[in-house]
Amino acid sequence: MLRSLKAYLAALALVVMAAPAFGQAIGQGFELERGGRYADAAAVYLTTLRTDPANLPALLGLERVLPVLSRLPELLPLVQRARERVPENGTLRALELRVYAGLNEPDSLEAAARRWAAVVPRSDAPYREWALALADRRMFDDARRVLLLGRRTLGGGATTLAIELAELEQRVENWEGAAREWGHAVAAAADMLPQATSQLSETPAAQRARVLAALTSSDAAPRTQRLGAELLLSWGQAVEAWRLFEQSIATGATSAPSGETATALRRFADLAGAVATPAGHRVRGLALSRWADLVPSPLAERARAEAVRELLDGGDRVGARAALERLAADSLAPADAKAMAEAALVEVLIADGQLDAAERRLAAEAGTLGGDDRARLRLQLARARVVRGELDRAAKLLSGDSSVAALAEQGWIALYRGDLRGATDAFRAAGPYAGERAAATERTAMLALVQQIPADTLPELGAALLTLARGDSAGAVTALRRVAANLEPGGGGGGGRSDVLLLAGQVAARLGGVANDATAIAVFDEIVRAGGPGAAPPAAELAWARVLVRQGRAADAVQRLEHLILSYPGSAFVPEARRELERARGAVPRS
């Protein structure tokens, strides 16, 4: 049915270009149409037809304006006269069918369509335009009957008029039938695959299983299976999509040329790029790896380098490392591809915990890697060293690096060593915007804690924070409480005691569970009882209330939040406490 529109536009353009004088008159009629002066526009078109009875733009103009004026019957004799003059003109024949449909004369419509089919017995145009005229009158069952008649008459098999049938089934929301016809269409012409995917991607979720079944039956053509794979991708099911796609290229390996397979792989990889999940990245990497085997150098090497990045982002380190080692050893690989491969290989080694190997590789390939990559990898390696507790080796990696990201990491290293003054200086030098937002927020909070402690060094605090950084949260809670016990409480929790306790309580609350919740509540209670003008008491009471809500003790949480709001009206935590209070009140059963 889209073909009809294209034919109409092409014919209109040809006629207008061939007759500039008539085209000027037609343009005048069109402007009158746009102004809503339909009767005047009709007069212009009729005048044109008196001079040129077969003027197609004028006839099409009348097709638009006469129904508005309730004068459609006037068009029929004009169209018939034009058709007699140029019987081979398919656009005029199609117009005649639409006029009969508009006049609700189905018998005459059928007779005219059959006359046209007799003139062009090998063309599908008569059946397509006949069905379109019926469908535009919402006579969908009759339109389907006509298309199937055309398929039988022309003898071209299931691919004949498949696009028209697919579009018709979509109009009546028969998505399974539409999928079956689109499958026939793409089996005959690979260039129909993008249109088919675009149309069927709108399938409602409840009908998707039936659509896939229609495209993935045992006798489905490889291209039809690829349509199913692309649909799965568009619906976010990357793993299932790749499994089906692999099957389709394996099925077609003996018959489809390698060029088509390569094109299909590249298209699949591009589509997978829109699936922003680990599975999406992984299948994109797999597709790029397969595509690289079918294209020449240096395109192949660049594809493999890109595939490695996608495999890493998808969590497939085994596959990525195998591809990396192959690419890194390829003497034909372009410099940018080798640099990407080396950088990715170092990342894989770091992720696998092979830090010594990663450090050696980073030093050996310093000339291959760009400056930004070297700095980024040094930072990753330093962070991995920190997690292992290897602070001296981490600091050595970052020595001489004055970037804000390196300064921020140096601040953490100083903090874990207990050098509070050095950590403060480094955090301030890095500024509040270094790194991602979450990291900057964490760094700002830690700077606020450290500033509450008057000492320049406190190795016990550094060790406790390092325990937390290494993933031992339970051990960190115990260590932080021990550090807090040795700090001066001072007026209102001065000396950092309440702030360190607050961190311990927050960590315990995050761990969850009966024992950890009890620990968190005990710590928060101690902070609130100590009171004072600092930020720790209201923060502790808010965190306490959240634990109570999680435990199902909404009434107790309401008491804590009301106490917070009344006791610390100027605190920055009050707006958040009010929101929590509303939620907690909603969770209290009415008596």
Q: 3-state SS of 310-327?
A: HHHHCCCHHHHHHHHHHH
In the chain, pLDDT over 90 holds for what percent of residues? 55
For residues 530 and 489, is the Cβ–Cβ distance under 8 A? Answer: yes
- pLDDT given for residue 431 in this prediction: 82
Question: How far is it, in rounded angstroms, from Cα 428 to Cα 408?
Answer: 9
Cis peptide before 298 (omega within 30 of 0): yes
pLDDT for position 297: 80
* pLDDT on residue 252: 52
Give the orientation angle of helix 404-416 with respect to helix 437-450, to 10 degrees.
Answer: 40
DSSP string spanning 58-113? HHHHHHHHTTTTT-GGGHHHHHHHHHHH-TT-HHHHHHHHHHHHHTT-HHHHHHHH
Convert the pLDDT of each residue in 141-194 to its tens digit.
999 999 999 999 998 788 889 999 999 999 999 999 999 999 999 998 888 999
77-94 mean pLDDT: 90
Q: How sure is the predictor about 8, in pLDDT bands with cuts at 50, 70 and 90? A: very low
Tens digits of residue pLDDT in 265-319: 999 999 999 998 999 999 999 999 889 888 888 888 888 888 888 888 898 888 8
The reported pLDDT for the residue numbered 491 is 40
User: How many residues in the chain?
Assistant: 591
The mean per-residue pLDDT over the stretch 372-389 comes to 91
- Extract long-range pairs of 350-356: CB within 8 Å, 24+ residues apart: 350/377, 350/380, 350/381, 350/384, 351/312, 351/317, 352/317, 352/321, 353/384, 355/381, 355/384, 355/385, 355/388
Helices and strands, number each (H, E), in the chain:
33, 0
Largest Cα separation within the chain, whole Å, is 107
How many CB atoms are located within 10 Å of the residue 84 CB? 11
Q: Which domains does the chain have, with CATH numbers?
A: 370-451 (1.25.40.10), 452-587 (1.25.40.10)
